[in-house]
């Protein structure tokens, strides 16, 4: 015999031995009204305790597919949004680089035109200088010394201007080389940007496929969770679930070898929560039973609520009131088909 069963039997025997003494027991009255606020405060704390117990139970005990799938979907959505923003920024950078490349090409064409013009000027000056030199050779014997000096000065001036033009051509050539290097770098950046853009588009497509797969997974995920919750103090309410195979799950029979269903949470005194779950829903009828196991001195009716959660949604069972003497048990039948649709049938 387990410790839990021993404690329950001991409690039942104590209640039977005390009998009507517990039922007729009245707490001493207190005429002081200065602490009446404690009643409302205790009610609020009881409700909060029940809420946190239920939230803790769902968070720590339920390890099914829904949370994992929903988390994957949320992560996939965030990643897709970030990649779309990055892709848009890269496309803007790509367009900007294209504009800069076009401007550099125009500058390069302009510099080439200047070089051609300067080259023509140099050739022109060379021709003029050559003509003067020829004239000097022909008129050397007939021209006086002053004319010869003037001609030499003109030739020197032409050579000087020719050197200046050569220097300008050299500077323009350096500018062209600089622009060419910059243009090559920009071409390399454009190639890199194209590669990154293609990779980003592939990554975005992969994330869209993952999102689509996650959506398919959540549509095909097959699970069911039954949660019982009651807020009345001291009461012990049992949740019992019978699956279509005839397996009864409760605090004593938590698992079976031939099914993945299990009884995961058991509370011995109220406010309390009990929960059953399965990762494979067998088509057929499920019997959900709520049993008033013990009052533990609180003879008021027990008020409880229940929820059934599947991949199709959340089904709420209206509030139920159980009386320990006259109405200790309430049962419902849940019917599921092959598609996972759930129908809550009237009370049994």
Give the residue extent of every domain in the chain: 47-62+223-345, 72-219
As beta bridge partners, residue 306 has 228, 317
- In the CATH hierarchy, which fold is given to the domain comprising 47-62+223-345? Jelly Rolls (2.60.120)
Pairing of strands 329-336, 342-345: antiparallel
Task: Give the pLDDT confidence score for residue 142 in this predicted structure.
Answer: 58
Centroid of chain to Cα 206:
15
Distance CA(161)–CA(244), nearest Å, equals 107
User: For the segment 71-124, what is each residue's pLDDT rounded down to a tens digit?
Assistant: 665 666 666 777 778 788 878 888 888 888 888 888 888 888 888 887 887 777
Which CB contacts under 8 angstroms, 24+ apart, belong to 215-219?
215/73, 217/65, 217/69, 218/65, 218/66, 218/69, 218/70, 218/73, 218/311, 219/311
The average confidence (pLDDT) of the chain is: 78
Distance CA(275)–CA(309), nearest Å, equals 11
What tokens were used for 251? 């605090």
72-219 is a CATH 2.60.40 domain: no
Confidence of residue 213 (pLDDT cuts 50, 70, 90): low
- CA distance to 13, 23, 269, per residue, from 18 (Å): 9, 9, 20
Poorest-confidence range of 155-164, 171-180, 206-215, 281-290?
Answer: 206-215
Distance CA(138)–CA(131), nearest Å, equals 11
174 vs 46, residue with greater confidence:
46
pLDDT tops 70 at residue 58 = yes
User: For the segment 18-28, what is each residue's pLDDT rounded down to a tens digit?
Assistant: 554 555 545 55
pLDDT tops 90 at residue 30 = no
């Amino acid at each position: 015999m387990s410790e839990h069963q021993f404690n329950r039997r001991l409690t039942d025997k104590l209640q039977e031995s005390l009998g009507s003494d517990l039922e007729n027991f009245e707490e001493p009255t207190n005429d002081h009204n200065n602490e009446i606020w404690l009643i409302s405060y205790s009610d609020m704390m009881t409700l909060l305790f029940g809420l946190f117990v239920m939230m803790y139970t769902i968070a720590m005990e339920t390890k099914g597919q829904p949370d994992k799938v929903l988390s994957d979907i949320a992560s996939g959505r965030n990643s897709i949004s970030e990649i779309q923003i990055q892709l848009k920024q890269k496309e803007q950078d790509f367009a900007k680089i294209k504009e800069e490349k076009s401007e550099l090409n125009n500058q390069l064409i302009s510099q080439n035109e200047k070089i051609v013009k300067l080259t023509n000027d140099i050739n022109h000056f060379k021709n003029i200088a050559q003509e003067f030199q020829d004239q000097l050779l022909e008129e050397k014997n007939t021209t006086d010394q002053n004319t010869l000096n003037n001609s030499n000065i003109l030739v020197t001036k032409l050579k000087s201007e020719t050197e200046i033009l050569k220097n300008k051509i050299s500077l323009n050539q350096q500018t062209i080389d600089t622009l060419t290097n910059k243009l090559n770098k920009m071409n390399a950046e454009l190639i890199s940007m194209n590669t990154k853009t293609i990779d980003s588009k592939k990554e975005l497509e992969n994330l869209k496929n993952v999102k689509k797969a996650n959506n398919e997974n959540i549509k095909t995920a097959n699970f069911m969770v039954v949660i019982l919750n009651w807020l009345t103090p001291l009461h012990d309410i049992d949740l019992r679930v019978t699956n279509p195979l005839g397996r009864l799950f409760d605090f004593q029979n938590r698992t079976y070898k031939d099914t993945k269903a299990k009884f995961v949470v058991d509370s011995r005194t109220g406010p309390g929560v009990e929960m059953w779950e399965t990762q494979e829903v067998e088509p057929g009828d499920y019997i959900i039973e709520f049993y008033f196991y013990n009052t533990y001195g609180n003879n008021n009716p027990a008020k409880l609520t229940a929820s059934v959660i599947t991949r199709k949604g959340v089904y709420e069972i209206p509030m139920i009131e159980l009386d320990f003497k006259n109405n200790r048990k309430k049962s419902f039948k849940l019917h599921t088909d092959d598609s996972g649709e759930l129908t809550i049938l009237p009370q049994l």
